[in-house]
Amino acid sequence: MCHTRLTKSVTLVAILRGALLVWVALAGVASAARADSIVLTAVDGRVLLMAPGDVATLRLRIQATQAFDATVFAHNAGSSEYTLIGQPAAGCATFAPAGGIQHVLFDPTVASGDLLCEYTIRRSLDSLNDAGIWLWANVNGFPVATVEWVLGTTADVALTTRQESFALLPDGRARGLLRVTTSNPSGFSIDGLSAGSCLDTYFPDFSIDGTIAGGCGPANGYGGACFDYSYGFTLAPVPAQADTSCLVELTSTSPYVHPLYFPIELVLDSMINMQTGGHLLPMRDPPMAALMLAADALFHDGFD
């Protein structure tokens, strides 16, 4: 699968994921009694590490008093990269671990309402990409319980910020330099990262300039999904087991009277393993950090 296609699709994945979580929350309020009767558990956690050629077992525990429809959204990998070996136990739905959107049926009543489904999955030797699987149970057409897995190499990256300078301008406004650092503990270099935030509901009380010497670049490189506006930076590749950093200049829009903060998020939807060219998925949700403009040294480390 080409990288262009993957890059275009992952933004849609992020939008769908956010919409699904909102939908599940609303459905849980509207149908609390029904939602509480279905519990989905990833027995061995969210991440299933698999190198090309590996065979692994994905285990799903289902606790429910009735059969139910479910939707499986398998994304990011080509259909031949991850395949199911054999058939799961009675009552467990069969689905393709890289087969797009699938509608299936689970029947935990065959195990007195507590069903363990085990899926043996093979990753092909020529596989480049990680695979993501979301599964959600539907009641009366609404998703009421969800579970998620990431299969493959995966990556665990982090974003931190630190204020390096602060000064008051003659007109009372504040200006400071902030260092944005990306850390990669993985054994391979990573590209395709960006950082920023949406400006859909409120705006920062400072201007953001990344075009300075050593800067993060123009603030139009945010890769996340926003309804209206955003700011952000395309980040440099991060070598294996190393950090990269860049600078952002912040200038308050009015005379400075108190510390100023605005969120910045590491966007991981388009991560590329520079060793293989494959598309990576994150081990966990993107970590949040903050842009900050603060005179008091007590605030220099943000929310730590």
Question: 3-152: which CATH topology?
Answer: Immunoglobulin-like (2.60.40)
d(CA 157, CA 186): 8
229 CB burial (10 A radius; 0-12, 13-18, 19+): exposed
- In this predicted structure, what is the pLDDT of residue 219? 85
Look at residues 251, 218, 252 and name the one whose alpha carbon lies nearest to residue 235: 218
Q: In this structure, what DSSP letter does residue 111 have?
A: G
Run means of pLDDT, 10 residues per run, the chain, 304 residues = 36 50 46 66 96 98 96 96 96 95 97 98 98 95 93 95 95 96 96 90 89 92 74 94 96 96 91 96 87 73 44
The structural domains of the chain, with segments of one domain joined by +, span: 3-152, 158-299
CATH number of 158-299: 2.60.40.10
- In this predicted structure, what is the pLDDT of residue 269? 87
Q: Do 158-299 and 3-152 fall under one CATH topology?
A: yes
